[in-house]
């Protein structure tokens, strides 16, 4: 199997450019980066596929060198469909963002700014907020003796009919 060095270099350049474009704040650049990554993945599968121009399961079955591997071809079709679907979703996000704000850039919200301004000392104090009493709690409903969900049977309320078939031997209830 001979692989063209040009295909490998192009694939590496597409992966690098795709990752670089996805790190931007503009959703349009994120879309372009995702498309570049999708094409790089398809090119990777093309490189892995084997000899070009030979259909899968074609040729003499006694000579496996004459056959092409069908798995990378199926993975390439799957990658194309996934790239198309995520690209359509990103286009819808970009369109909605443009409708709402006349821009396609993602801005920091208050939570992002708080995390960015947090000092390492604050990280240590956040760990100290958990007390031993909180650690021993095994339920989300602290202070309640029973769970807030009550299972009612036909014996509890007269209006409930429990005549569903059972899997017990003899048809007992």
Domain that holds residue 91: 5-112
pLDDT tens by residue, the chain, 173 residues: 456 888 889 999 999 999 999 998 888 899 999 999 999 999 888 888 766 656 666 655 566 666 667 788 888 899 999 999 999 999 998 888 888 777 777 777 788 777 777 766 666 666 566 666 555 555 555 555 666 666 666 677 777 776 767 666 665 55
Query: Is 160 contained in some domain?
Result: no
Query: Is 119 contained in some domain?
Result: no
Query: Is 102 contained in some domain?
Result: yes
- CATH number, domain with residue 100: 1.10.287.3510
Residues in the chain: 173
**Which residues neighbour 4 within 8 Å (Cβ) at sequence distance 6 or greater?**
none
Query: Is 124 contained in some domain?
Result: no
Helix (H), strand (E) at residue 81: helix 70-101
| Tokens representing residue 66 in the block | 């004459």
Helix (H), strand (E) at residue 118: none
Q: What is the pTM of this model?
A: 0.56
91 and 31 in contact (C-beta within 8 Å)?
yes
């Amino acid at each position: 199997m001979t692989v063209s060095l040009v295909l490998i270099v192009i694939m590496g350049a597409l992966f690098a450019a795709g990752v670089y474009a996805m790190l931007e704040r503009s959703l349009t650049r994120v879309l372009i980066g995702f498309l570049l990554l999708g094409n790089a993945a398809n090119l990777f599968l093309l490189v892995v596929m084997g000899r070009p121009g030979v259909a899968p399961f074609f040729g003499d079955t006694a000579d496996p060198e004459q056959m092409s591997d069908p798995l990378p071809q199926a993975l390439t079709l799957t990658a194309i469909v996934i790239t198309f679907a995520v690209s359509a979703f990103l286009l819808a996000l970009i369109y909605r963002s443009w409708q709402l704000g006349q821009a396609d850039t993602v801005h920091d919200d208050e939570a992002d700014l708080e995390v960015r301004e947090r000092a390492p000392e604050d990280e240590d104090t956040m760990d100290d907020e958990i007390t031993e009493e909180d650690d021993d709690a095994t339920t989300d409903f602290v202070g309640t003796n029973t769970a807030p969900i009550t299972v009612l049977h036909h014996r509890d309320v007269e209006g409930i009919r429990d005549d569903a078939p059972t899997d017990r031997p003899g048809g007992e209830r």
